Amino acid sequence: AIRMTQSPSSLSASTGDRVTITCRASQGISSYLAWYQQKPGRAPRLLIYGASTLQDGVPSRFSGSGSGTDFTLTISCLQSEDFATYYCQQYYSFPLTFGGGTKVQIK
Amino acid sequence: EMQLVESGGGLVQPGGSLRLSCSASGFTFSTYTMHWVRQAPGKGLESVSTIGANGAITYADSVKGRFTISRDNSKNSLYLQMTSLRPEDTAIYYCVKDRYCTTTTCPQDHWGQGILVTVSS
């Protein structure tokens, strides 16, 4: 199975900050990379797929980049509703695998 | 509106069995790959099993030989039969739908609310 490694595992930031989360795949996955947001007690929500394509309804302050093995999720101007846990996922091959998550907390 | 509603969870003893169901609505169920994804308490996400629109099936190594995924397109329903359950299977189980896409594999765009399975004596 392809292993997905996210960093950092948690971070503290303030509203208005620019936040970057990285994700590395153990082998090349082209652009078959998705990012999900999960809030406590809720199901995950798809934010970005194809490494950089915004899902419908997702604010433009979210962006993704990368291909091959190295990817990033950037939140350009952190809002209060963005405090959550973020997961990367490869869907290049089965089994689908997720990164360990990055918890974005209020500083 | 697309909806996925899981049922069948609960408390079961180690070694026991449980069958999860997912009722789908608001989309053409038969044409989408469907998944079961789980999340242990306070932990990350783990893909458990996938069933394609063509019936192709995959399992995580951790459940292979113990869990069986199936679908009934006439009832717009997805199932997960779980046997030989272990304490480490304790998790919220999500029924998840693929997003429409033109590639061979796709991300997932709709998740059910999740159902808790607790394996404990």
**Residue B116: band (very low, low, confident or very high) from pLDDT cuts 50, 70, 90:** very high
Query: Mind listing the pLDDT tens digit for each residue in B65-94?
Result: 999 999 999 999 999 999 999 999 999 999
Strand intervals (E) in B40-107: 45-51, 57-59, 67-72, 77-82, 91-98
Q: Is the pLDDT of residue B101 over 90?
A: no
Chain A residues whose CB is inside 8 A of the B45 CB are 36, 44, 87, 89, 98, 101
Q: CA of A87, closest CA in chain B: separation in Å?
A: 8
**CB–CB of A32 and B103 under 8 A?**
yes
Confirm or reject contact between B50 and chain A (CB < 8 A). Answer: yes
Phi, psi (deg, nearest 5) at residue B33 = -70, 140
Q: Would an 8 Å CB–CB cutoff place B101 in contact with chain A?
A: yes
Q: Which residue, among B4, B2, B16, has the nearest Cα to B114 in the 3D structure?
A: B4
Choose among B116, B119, B110, B117: nearest CA to B23. B110
The minimal CB distance from B112 to the residues A34, A43, A95 is found for: A43
Q: Does B53 touch chain A (CB under 8 A)?
A: no
Contact yes or no for B60 and A95 at CB 8 A: yes
Interface A-B: count of C-beta contacts within 8 A: 59
Q: Which pLDDT tens digit goes with each residue over A5-46?
A: 999 999 999 999 999 999 999 999 999 999 999 999 999 999
Percent of chain A with pLDDT over 90: 98
pLDDT at site B102 = 82
Neighbouring C-beta atoms of residue A15, cutoff 10 Å: 13
Of A7, A100, A89, the C-alpha closest to A45 is: A89
Please judge whether B47 and A96 are an interchain contact, meaning their C-beta atoms are less than 8 angstroms apart: yes
CB proximity under 8 Å: B 75-94 to A: 94
Q: Which of chain A's residues have a Cβ under 8 Å away from the Cβ of B109?
A: 46, 55
- Say if B118 is an interface residue toward chain A (CB within 8 Å): no
Residues of A at the B interface, defined by Cβ within 8 angstroms: 1, 32, 34, 36, 43-46, 49-50, 55, 87, 89, 91-101
